[in-house]
Amino acid sequence: MIPDSTVEDWLQEDLGHHDVTNEVPGETTGRLVAREPGIVAGLDVACAVFEYLDVTAERAAEAGDRVESGGTVLRVAGPAREVLRGERVAVNLAGHASGVATKTRRAVEAAREVDDGVAIAATRKTTPGLRGVEKRAVVAGGGDTHRLDLSHMVMVKENHVAEMGLEGAVEHFRERASFATKIEVEVERPEDAPRAADAGADIVLLDNMRPDETAEAVAKLRERDDDTLAEASGGITVADVPDYAATGVDVISLGSLTHSADTLDYSFRTG
């Protein structure tokens, strides 16, 4: 559910204080049409924009559907003035979300060519104010949201280790976190992976390691036990995914799914 105040902010940013461009009389209809193939996402927020303006919006596709060039994903009907006022905001949001979903689906498919079990996840590298939109788009593409915010999981990063040491940092946060909160520890060397697991990590983040280093770290973890999850992250591209999927990791996370996905090209046509 998108709060009305959020939609109002989006619209106000686009309309400004004296909109005359959209002062068009009468009623009209409109369609949101894909100009290239991709994965649909963001129609929930596009509909919220139009419905806030008392424009009827009907989805012609669902999140996660594949749309071909020329395919209609949303239809609207209502006062021409309000349809045109909502058009650009709705197109921008749906285009951005669908771009995230499309890139995520490419990453998922690349991983599946090697290992059906490895998960593709996003990160917290999201656009301020649009995290919910982007995380839902990742799910539409077949990916995992990872933690939605800092409260969802404790991540012990290099700065924490520098301040308290690896074991000290894990103990520090374990004492403060709920029993239901998982702890993930970031390591940058293969030999530190089992050390993090021994310290109590539920998940070990193998950060900025090459695929061969990642495979070595996973092997060291598996020698210890089979319970601790291994996540590869750090500068991984969609093209790199197959190499990392072959290392035996459980999760591959890519910040680029949200921070640098291309927008899916949509066109809004009235009448």
Domain definitions of the chain by residue range: 4-101+262-270, 109-259
Q: Of the listed 82, 207, 243, 250, which one is catalytic?
A: 207
In the DSSP assignment, the letter for residue 152 is G
Amino acid in the structure at residue 102: T
Asked if 125 is an active-site residue, the reply is: yes
Structure tokens at 83: 């349809």
CA 173/CA 146 separation, integer angstroms: 19
Q: Of the listed 35, 62, 157, 225, which one is catalytic?
A: 157
Q: How far is CA 115 from the centre of its chain?
A: 21
Q: Of the listed 125, 131, 147, 222, which one is catalytic?
A: 125
Asked if 186 is an active-site residue, the reply is: yes
Burial class (CB within 10 angstroms; exposed 0-12, middle 13-18, buried 19+) of 170: buried
Cβ atoms of 197 and 228 closer than 8 Å: yes
Q: Of the listed 88, 124, 147, 195, which one is catalytic?
A: 88
CA 57/CA 50 separation, integer angstroms: 6
Architecture of domain 109-259: Alpha-Beta Barrel (3.20)
CA 198/CA 121 separation, integer angstroms: 25
Asked if 135 is an active-site residue, the reply is: no
Q: What would the mean pLDDT of 9-24 be, rounded to a whole number?
A: 75
Asked if 82 is an active-site residue, the reply is: no
CA 248/CA 117 separation, integer angstroms: 9
Asked if 207 is an active-site residue, the reply is: yes
User: Confidence band (pLDDT; 50, 70, 90) for 20?
Assistant: low
Mapped onto helix, strand or coil, the DSSP state of residue 221 is: helix
pTM for the whole thing? 0.92
State the pLDDT at residue 14: 73
State the pLDDT at residue 13: 81
Q: Of the listed 44, 82, 134, 186, which one is catalytic?
A: 186
State the pLDDT at residue 22: 64
CATH, domain range 4-101+262-270: 3.90.1170.20
Average pLDDT, the chain: 94
